[in-house]
A and B are shown apart, each in its own frame.
Chain A
């Protein structure tokens, strides 16, 4: 079966299929690079690769969280490079809330297939049965049940002892203080006052049975580093990051995309087509779009250099209350 027939042969999906096929071929043919990676990104890349190898060598059952976003795309790319010619010696895990943009799911399944990687998808079925959803349950409960609890379920079910996450220290205040190797108790809790000192590159990978470690290999990358790396390495990402005419509605001063028929519309309300893109990707009811004409990566970077709001400002779950990210992390969120 060809990729295009799998997707329904729209020009966009044919293009995606071709770009992911070309991407996968790079790791088979290893054509070499036209021009060297800029030195600063090369240093960040080497640091991340070091961390990934350290985990592969020190843990029995690692897993890489794959959330389909741009940071995950960078992590996946780094994992492919770190172990080459071996494939990444761990599976990938997507915690699916069932509210991701449909384009994300298409992208996820296709890239994993092209790369021949082992992707595990976990959905909190119990949460689904309880009818948890971002509209009726609110962003807080939805995130708690469908992301945090779901992640814990998946880690426990498979017995993973180390999990890579794509968090960056520049994203949020409590992230800035998290270690690269972040120790979690048996109940996956994070104790910010009891973190292990992390000196040089000597990461302490020791833990008792049942405990686990979350590892953040791109801790020291900034949003700009991520975009520059995506550009220089020509890494494919979900097209939602680039501007296109999309059906949208406005809620509380922010623009949301109507991704499917689950978005409740007010009587007489009709989605409007707007030229929008996304700076981060999460659950579509919780992720606001920005109006932008930036349709390719250079335009996105140019816009970012003059941006006046932070990347996570479009994430509703961060704004529930002060210190909310720290609370979620203590409960086991990434």
Chain B
């Protein structure tokens, strides 16, 4: 065998890939450590080294040496600020293994980047400055790794040179850390003392720490076993793309998320319950006898059953949960805070569905790791949330399967990824098989809208400010993603009620029809604003009776007659006083104020915007802006 062939075998021999993440505070020397690993494993080339030396000198690196962190800070903005602001992926290899390192920033506002790196990591290297010990940051990083299911931790106690390579100090820090990490369920926590700057115990054992009998960092990383948890889990095959080149071939392309499969295996489509059998496992390299987790293949089944992107094929004996409601850890990653009840797009594997965060059960206080009451989550906030989806989704608990228990939430308007979620439990008692088509009911439409339907009935004198406030309310609601519609004298009287006049009987019929129209809109899931003088209690109560409890919200726009008459926006009071208009409320016809309205606005004074805000706040507290609670938990087959 030629030397070149030997070289190729060395190059491609399977060393096993290790994906790890490094976490630490800004000054823990993280970039220096990674730079050192790249440098000492000869991954830095001469041309890169030359520019590194130049730049180190220009920035006044210590003693004319090399500032390894410059190698990693890839973006101009970061180089200017001297901090790493985003996730960077680095690659290096030794004789034993290939490594992919996610380099993630340590300061608080970039927790989301750390979670990103952790989501695919087999192991986390958590850096601690030996002088500072365990910090709040350390706790946060440890917890995020726990939440994201990273199985192994290396506690790299760095800057040992600055504490005189003290064994006592090292052991003190390790004891602190172990106390904190206990109970988080890591498979292993391995402390290693080192100095990245001096290169002590990074690549090889350090003569300066003779008391350390363990391995160097690289020595450990080369040796650590990373069993692929996916292989041991139940078979899950998410269908990514239907492969149909011609009428004689219909295959389902996807990457096996967990477990293994082989021709002849029975399979079931998780959501529909349809069953079949694997006929062939097709690849461009020939058909396979067996595929396992991570393999990208195309399955051909024995039967023509309805399968599309997003379906999960599994073994009939070990199926995922199929549900519309589940409990999940959520990490919020966007500047705009979580809005319970607002519809987001949920992407879980190849499944994309509309979903709402129906409730925030609690937020996690990162300092104490204990739950605290909360109604929302802000950027970098973590908490336990209830999620409701419009259609059933198939999933596993994240702790059981990282591939099928994770999801992201995407804002429907900005298209930004706003959250990452990890399923903790189904909120439905039993696993059901669902029909593809569900009954479209009022609660189902409400889930689609992301809020409950309601009628906001603005009543009050002419000129009280009903329409002004109603239109401000409607504008605010639509900005929040609510689906609204406004009913007022203009659009009702000119169309549906064109045949009605102003006799008492016609006025009653007018309101009755308005009530019926409002009821239809409520059934369609909308929030209706209705602005009508509606002077008689009986009329308003009649509309209330058409709706379910809680759906009719009576808003008394309480403006004194004198103020309304002074405003007289349409000149009606003047004409009424002049006797040109008969039966005019407040002048020649009574107004019966509500006895117990849901909201009373003293609209003779104050800013209409403030009154509108009061209404929206009421809706929030009353839960109108959250999803329907009585959405059916299951659908019949």
Identify the A interface with B (CB < 8 A): 27, 30-33, 37-43, 45-46, 49-50, 53-54, 56-57, 80-87, 169-170, 172-177, 192-193, 195-202, 204, 206-208, 219-220, 222, 224, 227-228, 231-232, 296, 298-299, 301-302, 305, 307-310, 313, 322-323, 326
Contacts and interface: CB of A to CB of B under 8 A. Distances in A.
Contacts of B71: 173
B406 A202 contact: yes
Nearest to B9: A38
Contacts, number: 200
Given A192-B86, A302-B3, A305-B11, A197 B115 contact: yes
Given A40-B98, A41-B12, A200 B245 contact: no
Interface residues of B, number: 80
Interface stretch (B183-191, B293-301, B355-363, B553-561): B293-301
B428 interface: no
Most buried by B among A174, A197, A200: A197
B2 A200 contact: no
Interface of B: 2-5, 7-8, 10-17, 45-48, 51, 55, 71-77, 79, 85-91, 93, 98, 100, 112-113, 115-116, 119-120, 240-241, 243-245, 249, 251, 253-255, 282-286, 294-296, 298, 309, 333, 345, 347-350, 402-403, 406-408, 410, 415-417, 420
B89 A169 contact: yes
A33 B286 contact: yes
B417 A298 contact: no
Contacts of B116: 197-199
B611 to A, nearest CB: 35
A195 to B, nearest CB: 7
Nearest to B13: A38
Nearest to A45: B296
B283 A197 contact: no
Contact of B282 (A85, A232, A302, A322): A85
A50 B86 contact: no
B240 A193 contact: no
Given A43-B17, A313-B47, A83 B75 contact: no
Contacts of B298: 84
A211 to B, nearest CB: 8
Contact of A177 (B15, B74, B350): B74
A232 B10 CA distance: 13
A228 B11 contact: yes
B12 A228 contact: yes
B553 to A, nearest CB: 34
A90 B357 CA distance: 37
A193 B13 CA distance: 38
A305 B74 contact: no
Contacts of B46: 308-309
Contacts of B7: 298, 301-302, 305
Smallest CB-CB A-B distances: 6 pairs: A173-B74, A32-B286, A298-B4, A84-B284, A206-B415, A302-B7
Contacts of A310: 45, 47-48
A176 B13 contact: no
A199 B253 contact: no
A196 B417 contact: yes
A204 B410 CA distance: 8
B302 to A, nearest CB: 18
B347 A298 contact: no
